[in-house]
Structure 1
């Protein structure tokens, strides 16, 4: 599960932390979800974000993948709830459009723009981490535009 924390001040985005919370392939589903939950809470405690933002559920061709992603989303939502953090959801197309200007952008295009927007020397890897940063940037852009209305 990708994790990305961005400090947002006006129109400036500063990367604070990004990584992935890894699980072991041979662990049971409940153990994997617990590992993700524990890693999320550890990250929240260490970096003290003020909100969580996640990708909305999607309807893919692979039902198993969609179901597993639903479990992970639930872990994130409960982690946010237990940490008294609001959770904001964004459609994948909205994230891609916010970061690249193209709602059909590839993961690599998103990664490239995240690197540019955050002035990183290297592209954030793996792709799950750059996706997490993109979601954080999307929230920053959209939260700001909402407050201007």
Structure 2
């Protein structure tokens, strides 16, 4: 199965495509869609949308796994990320991709076996599972690869404690 993991944002959208076959992970491609801070916000959203559409077209994933949005401290930031997430979901819907969402804790649990793992532990385990020479940069890219791994673990092992909420039509 080919999975596109996305770490949503409007400045940087991390993405990673992972092939999962016979309990083995293989990175297909990964990177980040970045937007210019000086550009009007609607232009940044367009850049995110077009960048994600391009990734979907080039890598041909079967499913998209995305981080579930949660509110932390900055209401302005969360609204912008929600809007960027919306254009990402639109790109997935137009491509006919089923979408699954995961909380950071679910990703940590799936990748490291510990739901309260620190970011460095998740990144290092992602590097090991994908046999990469270094942790991908920026951090958003490593997070997106971890998201794809979480989908594979959750669905391959049918771990009820990591059940994700599927959104969108089949």
For the aligned pair, the TM-score class normalised by the smaller chain equals over 0.9
Match runs of 1:1-149 below 5 Å: 1-146=13-158
TM-score (norm 1): 0.94
- Cα deviation per residue 1:43-87 (whole Å; 9 max; x = unaligned)? 111110001110001121111121122112111111110001111
Q: Equivalents in 1 of 2:35, 2:21: separation in Å?
A: 33
Q: Whose helix proportion is higher, 1 or 2?
A: 1
Report the TM-score, using the length of structure 2 for normalisation: 0.83
Q: How far did 1:98 drift?
A: 0.8
Q: Aligned-pair distance for 1:146?
A: 3.1
Check conservation: 1:33, 1:75, Cα contact below 8 A: yes
2:4 corresponds to: none
Q: Distance in 2 between matches of 1:97 and 1:69?
A: 24
Question: What is the alpha-carbon distance in structure 1 between the residues aligned to residue 24 and residue 146 of structure 2?
Answer: 14
Larger deviation, residues 124-133 vs 98-107: 98-107
* CA displacement at 1:92 relative to structure 2: 0.9
Q: Name structure 1 gaps, 5 residues minimum.
A: none
1:21 alignment partner, SS class: strand
CA RMSD of aligned residues (A): 1.2
The runs of 5 or more residues in structure 2 that have no matched partner are 1-12, 160-170
